[in-house]
Structure 1
Amino acid sequence: MTENTTTPPEGPRVFPCGGCGARLEFAPGTERMLCPYCGHTDEVAAPERRIREHKVQDLFRRTPMADLVPHELVCQGCGAHLQSDQLAHNCQFCASPLVIDPASEDVVPPEAVLPFAVDRSGARGALASWTRTRWFAPNSLKKVGEAERLKSTYLPHWTFDAATASDYKGQRGEYYYVTETYTTQENGKTVTKTRQVRKTRWYPASGRVSRDFDDVLVNATTRLSPERVTALEPWDLKQARPFTHAYLAGHEALRYDMEPEEGLDRAKGIMAKQIDKDCRRDIGGDEQRVHSVSTRYSDVTGKLMLLPVWAGAYLHGGKSYQMVINGQTGEVQGERPYSAVKIAFAVLAMLAVVALLVYIYLQG
């Protein structure tokens, strides 16, 4: 299937159904577009190119996202005039899939997309399984298997590659043991005993470690909780496809609101944690201290990638709890209620076990 290129420049990309003329949507877990009305399908037209890495300087030259204004759109389904700050969503009047062409703006366009593998039914099943396995949750939570406002949304992420060389200074600690003499009271008598005490002898250490980083992932939107989105990892980025608008049809897609410069700074923070581990491994010994690290970066490249997430909320006890689901693996992260009764019983049981152990010890 080829993308419709007759749409006016201001209009969204549309994918007309060859069976009934409605709008096709990307079907998760497949490589096909599906008509939700007549069931007609077409294959997603794969771009004739590979996923490319871009020099970060080229990413930095783009217009800052904060300087852009919302898109002015005309829905091709019902003719409604809309404003949008997203790359893809559905028309609020006729539900037609709307996909913006990011190449129409001087911002960083998506280079790759990780298509949805989990469909709506699979997302509901993942939520039901998650609620059934929450410790200290009310028993009634196990009956929750449906989410409200559940939306399939592509989230923007930066990925960065870099070759690093790091010079470090620190100390290597090696254990040794000394015999100490001490006294204790046993049956009213003073008894002299000995024990082995571990100590550490420190030696200066310095050196250089090198590592090539590939696809260091940084969440590029603050629209959802960054901590919760990060908790959805890992992602199998090898399953990513070169970006094409068809994967977004029928789903939402957010634009990034973290500029690539900040994204690279955060990626370097992620790299620094691994470099610290490399330094400690290089130092060796039983313990390590790293006092300073100086890292040089070369061949730094990056790209914008869209990752699939089901986002929504579920109701329990009259309260709404937010949750997100990894659209590739079904991993669920979210808010959950706690049962005060179960927690109280657990604390009492723990105290009972401690009391029993103390009683056994005193009797012995």
Structure 2
Amino acid sequence: MSTQSTAIRFPCAGCAGPMVFDTESQNLKCQYCGSEQTIDSIQEQPKEHPFDSENEDINELHNWGTEQQVIHCESCGGETLIPIGQTTSQCVFCGSPKVLAQDNTGSIRPESIIPFQLSRDDALASFAAWKRKKWFLPNLFKQQNVSSQLNSIYIPYWTYDTDTYSVYSAEVGIYHYRTVTRTRMVNGKSETYTTTERYTVWHSTHGDYDKWFDDILIPASGHYDKNLLHKLGDFNLSALHNYKPEYLSGYISERYSISREQGWKEAQSVADEQLESAIKAQIGGDEIRRLNIRTSYSDITFKHLLLPVWNANYTYKSRPYYYMVNGQTGTVSGHVPRSAFKITMFVLLCLGIAGVILLFIMNQQVSIPE
């Protein structure tokens, strides 16, 4: 993504050139003379907002510290925010050049931010290391340097805290074993043998379970693959800073496209899935059926924040692929080409091993005639 500044938001005190956020120094750095300016950062626990609160200062929530404009992509529908005075030639999501500036009718401003820790070169190195560990890649792709179109973007997130209390009922099955006598035909003769048989004894159970959830992280992005974003979710939220417009100098942020209410529904799904796993572990047994869980949520709070991500797209043999790099930790998630030959050989190898094991078992079961 190329950007061209026509209005300097943070001019250098020495040469009046534009200053942008530098990942190495974590300060503003002049693009011309290299001088730095410290960002007066306050790193503290961000404020938790009651979910049912209706008395928030809306004007403050929309004040980014600098005037923003919305950039809309006609190809994928993605919307990003860039400062007034900057222009962009292509979409940060899909790379399309069909982007149009629109009026900003009001975009929620996050209260907290994790500044970028990784530079572009760091992100490329993380991807190169990641792809070397992937299986079934074409040899040519694995060995060559991939030419990626890499874009830095702050992605909006919601986090939710909640206390939960669940009551449940279920049927739990316990495995038991008994020795049974059976007959079989061997070389035309009836033969008696004993074997161990498993059976399940079922009984009803019920109980309750309580759990506190802290910082259920939900992307407020509607234009990225949620599975890829989920794999990037190892952000260290203890490193959150209070939002300052200086952190966005030279970077683009995505506009919130998932509302607070929509985010909470997704957070509930995450909590419900974890509660089901925890309750099953508490019930124990060997099998569980007819599990019914009823959960109440209380003390629900939320935060809104920006998290750093390097987003990339590249082409291999005329097919597009995408990957993302966590701008704080370097974790990578993405899509890569696969070698049909390697996959086929692996499947054939597994089938061959399974065939040898099956043949061995069958030979062990054949009785030697008297």
TM-score after normalising by structure 1: 0.80
1:7 corresponds in structure 2 to none
Q: Quick one: distance in 2 between partners of 1:185 and 1:124? A: 66
Check if 1:175 corresponds to 2:170. Answer: no
Change (3 A) 1:207 1:106: farther
Q: CA deviation at 1:177?
A: 2.1
Check if 1:325 corresponds to 2:325. Answer: yes
1:200 corresponds in structure 2 to 200
2:215 corresponds in structure 1 to 215
Residue in structure 2 matching 1:35, options 16, 25, 30: 30
Check if 1:14 corresponds to 2:15. Answer: no
Q: Quick one: distance in 2 between partners of 1:219 and 1:253? A: 13
Q: Is the 8 A contact 2:46 2:303 kept in 1?
A: no
Equivalences for 1:143-154 in 2 at 5 Å?
A: 143-154=143-154
5+ unaligned residues in a row in structure 1: which ranges?
A: 1-10, 75-81, 95-103
Q: Quick one: distance in 1 between partners of 2:299 and 2:8? A: 35
Greater shift, 237-246 or 216-225, is seen at 237-246
1:121 corresponds in structure 2 to 121
Q: Quick one: distance in 2 between partners of 1:12 and 1:256? A: 25
Match of 1:160, SS state, is strand
Q: Is the 8 A contact 2:166 2:209 kept in 1?
A: yes
Match of 2:53, SS state, is helix
2:259 corresponds in structure 1 to 259
Check if 1:224 corresponds to 2:224. Answer: yes
Letter in 1 for 2:345: F
Letter in 2 for 1:211: K
1:283 corresponds in structure 2 to 283
1:4 corresponds in structure 2 to none
Q: Quick one: distance in 1 between partners of 2:328 and 2:43? A: 24
The C-alpha deviation readout for 1:96-135, integer Å capped at 9, x for no partner, is: xxxxxxxx97654312112222111111111222333332
Q: Quick one: distance in 2 between partners of 1:242 and 1:189? A: 84
Check if 1:273 corresponds to 2:273. Answer: yes
Equivalences for 1:62-211 in 2 at 5 Å?
A: 84=71, 86-88=80-82, 91-92=86-87, 108-211=108-211
Q: Quick one: distance in 2 between partners of 1:179 and 1:330? A: 56
Q: Is the 8 A contact 2:43 2:241 kept in 1?
A: no
Letter in 1 for 2:190: T
Q: Quick one: distance in 2 between partners of 1:261 and 1:13? A: 37
Greater shift, 164-173 or 249-258, is seen at 164-173
The C-alpha deviation readout for 1:36-59, integer Å capped at 9, x for no partner, is: 322211222113864111011237
Q: CA deviation at 1:184?
A: 2.5
2:240 corresponds in structure 1 to 240
Q: Quick one: distance in 2 between partners of 1:13 and 1:260? A: 33
5+ unaligned residues in a row in structure 2: which ranges?
A: 1-5, 72-78, 90-103, 365-370
Change (3 A) 1:268 1:21: same
Q: Is the 8 A contact 1:176 1:200 kept in 2?
A: yes
Change (3 A) 1:336 1:244: same
Change (3 A) 1:48 1:141: closer
Change (3 A) 1:93 1:240: closer
Letter in 2 for 1:317: K
1:79 corresponds in structure 2 to none
Q: Quick one: distance in 2 between partners of 1:363 and 1:194? A: 19
Check if 1:58 corresponds to 2:53. Answer: yes
Percent identity, please: 31
Q: CA deviation at 1:211?
A: 0.8
Greater shift, 141-150 or 319-328, is seen at 141-150
Q: Is the 8 A contact 1:30 1:117 kept in 2?
A: no
TM-score after normalising by structure 2: 0.78
Aligned length: 331
Greater shift, 122-131 or 190-199, is seen at 190-199
1:99 corresponds in structure 2 to none
Q: Quick one: distance in 1 between partners of 2:47 and 2:105? A: 19
Q: Quick one: distance in 1 between partners of 2:193 and 2:17? A: 88
Change (3 A) 1:59 1:43: farther
The C-alpha deviation readout for 1:243-284, integer Å capped at 9, x for no partner, is: 222222111111110111011011011111121123223323
